[in-house]
Chains A and B, each alone.
Chain A
Amino acid sequence: MKKTVFKTACTALNNFKIHFFVLSAFIFLMLSGNAYAMHISEGILPFNWAVLWFVVAAPFVAYGLYKLKKLSSIDPSFKPLVGLVAAVVFIISCMPMPVPTAGTCSHPCGTGISAILLGPGLSVLVAAVALFIQALFLAHGGLSTLGANIVSMGIMGSFAGYITFKTLRGFNTNLFAAGFVAGLIADWATYLSTSVELASGIMGGSPFMPLFTKIIIAFVPTQLPLGILEGAITGGMVVLLYKKRPDLLIKMKVIKSVGGVANEA
């Protein structure tokens, strides 16, 4: 009897948490004022630098397309996960969040979670599609700076997040902690590379390092807390998927076995 009551209470509490989370998220989205971006805006980078970043990004995007085609031909059921992750990355990366410590707004990237679930190759493709739509219709980033933004958010964010997650899991770190650090590093790596791109593009005749340092320091008050938030989102999503569909995480090679991580999540 006691067990049943306890179980019912737990279920009710879980449902309550989910409802509260969904409603709060909805209200938060409805509150959105002006759209603020973190990507490099249209026309900021000189032509030669813009072309260079496109050249760097192109093979990664091509590899992402190849991976999508290959995985879809092996298992068509793979598509819902790609669709879900693409939607999540798109929404997360255009959701402005106020950072009271800095008095500015910015947004998480979502590439940490996409790299963990889909692998870094496909994550680059997902980020590229999200960035392209944002640049074309949402005045968010730019078409000429798309290559640079794919390199920072797509490539650097995805690979940094993926490598961090795999390394931590290799040391038997629990699922949430590994996801948290992966999300955090993915976010910070994105801003680190954005600073490199911006400093190298606008420095002209002045030295690179002082300008780069100045830009990265300017990003810190906003991105330090946002990175932590992104870490929490990433860790939370991995654990949520583990609870709902552990078989899916095994299939995507995020975890090796359900039993092996049962106590870790």
Chain B
Amino acid sequence: MKPEKSKIMIKMVMIFVLSAIVFYCFQPFVYSSEKWPGVDESVVEKYAKEHGRESSEPFINTDQGDLLLFVFLLAGTIGGFIGGYYWRMLIMPPGDRKETHSL
């Protein structure tokens, strides 16, 4: 194997191992959703309920099973692509930048 290729392989393995560590560090926190409520529930709604105010259903209720997870994933994907597109426009070399009306 060429030294360049082995370097890339080592780098990829290290990235994979470190990413796996990150994954397993956060996994328990994320999947134990019952134990980790959001502050909207644990603070806002809790105190509002104590004072006789309860939250009502959203105008478009996407909080139904996995639908909410799906719309969040969709929103994150679209937002991520938009962010990435503009980030690329901002950091591309000056020669290419002029053609795409970036800063």
Contacts and interface: CB of A to CB of B under 8 A. Distances in A.
B59 A24 contact: no
Interface of B: 7, 11, 14-15, 18-19, 22-23, 26-27, 29-31, 33, 35-48, 51-63, 68-69, 71-73, 75-76, 79-80, 82-83, 85-87, 89-91, 101-103
B79 A90 contact: yes
B56 A104 contact: no
Contacts, number: 202
Given A29-B80, A36-B38, 16 more contacts: A16-B14, A19-B15, A28-B22, A32-B69, A33-B30, A33-B69, A35-B72, A40-B40, A80-B90, A81-B86, A83-B86, A84-B90, A105-B38, A139-B68, A142-B55, A218-B46
B83 A32 contact: no
A42 B58 contact: yes
Interface in A134-180: 135-139, 142-143
A133 B75 contact: yes
Most buried by A among B15, B29, B69, B79: B79
B15 A81 contact: no
Given A41-B40, A42-B59, A248 B90 contact: yes
Contact of A215 (B7, B47, B89): B47
A2 interface: no
Contacts of B79: 87, 90-91
A31 B45 contact: no
Contact of A38 (B39, B51, B75): B39
